[in-house]
Structure formats: C-alpha cells, structure tokens
C-alpha cells in the first residue's frame, strides 16, 4: 500500500467536532499499515486537562485490539489536509509496542518519509 492510499484513509476519518464541554475530537486522522496488510485508523482526542491522545495512538490501539503490533507505515493528517510528523510521545509509543517498529516508515511531510529509528536517534536501543 502506498502512502497516497494511507493518506486518503487517514483523511477519511477526520471529522473535527466538540464532544463535550471539555473535549474536542477528530481534528487529526492517522492511518497505520500493519505487517498483515491491514490498515487501522484513528483520530485525536483533545481535552482541557491534556489527558487526550493523538490520532496515531488511537490507530495503534485499534491495531493492538485486533491482535497486531508490527507497523510498516504510518501517516497523520491534519484537518486542513497537511501531513503531520508524529510527536515525541507517539514516536516512543510506536517504537515500544514492537521491536521492529523502529524500522516503520513515517511520512513526515508531503513527499518526505523517514523511519521511527531516525526520529529517535538516541534512544539507547540502536
């Protein structure tokens, strides 16, 4: 599966909305291509107390719920269509749920890909 296809899947789940007085959701969508070929998506949840989570976390949780943990590719897309690199928390989270995820490809900007390993150059596991 190409990053263009993953982009469309991530974009398809974006639906910015207020879900309560203290929380908003859906402003960022993410898509993960798992080793099996399955694609998992998720959206961000932002709360006033900073206890929400990123779209990549939501997609990874769906993947883990389905019994998978190895990621081949990941992309996050903002409400306006721009590609967003994973935050530090997402990078670390992805790297810890499967040892091979350090080699997962990540699109960090239009036409620019790298690996989780390169985004975490000094994590002590290299």
Give the CATH number for residue 46. 3.40.140.10
Structural domain count of the chain: 1
Other CB atoms within 10 A of residue 126 CB: 8
Residue-wise DSSP of 56-72: HHHHHHHHHHTT---EE
* Rounded Cα distance, 41 and 5, in Å: 12
* Contact indicator for 48, 69 with CB cutoff of 8 Å: no
* Rounded Cα distance, 107 and 118, in Å: 12
Any domain includes 21: yes
pLDDT tens, residue order, the chain (126 aa)? 999 999 999 999 999 999 999 999 999 999 999 999 999 999 999 998 888 899 999 999 999 999 999 999 999 999 999 999 999 999 999 999 999 999 999 999 999 999 999 999 776 665
Domain assignment of residue 10, given as a range: 3-119
């Amino acid at each position: 599966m190409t990053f263009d296809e993953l982009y469309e899947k991530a974009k398809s789940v974006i639906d910015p909305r207020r879900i309560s007085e203290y929380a908003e959701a859906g402003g960022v969508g993410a898509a993960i291509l798992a080793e099996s070929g399955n694609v998992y998506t998720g959206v961000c949840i932002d709360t006033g107390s900073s206890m929400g989570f990123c779209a990549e976390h939501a997609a990874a949780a769906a993947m883990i719920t389905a019994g998978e943990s190895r990621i081949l590719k990941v992309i996050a897309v903002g409400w306006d269509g721009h590609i967003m690199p994973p935050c530090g928390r997402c990078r670390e989270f992805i790297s810890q749920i499967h040892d091979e995820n350090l080699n997962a490809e990540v699109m960090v900007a239009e036409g620019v890909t790298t690996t989780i390993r390169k985004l975490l150059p000094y994590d002590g596991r290299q």
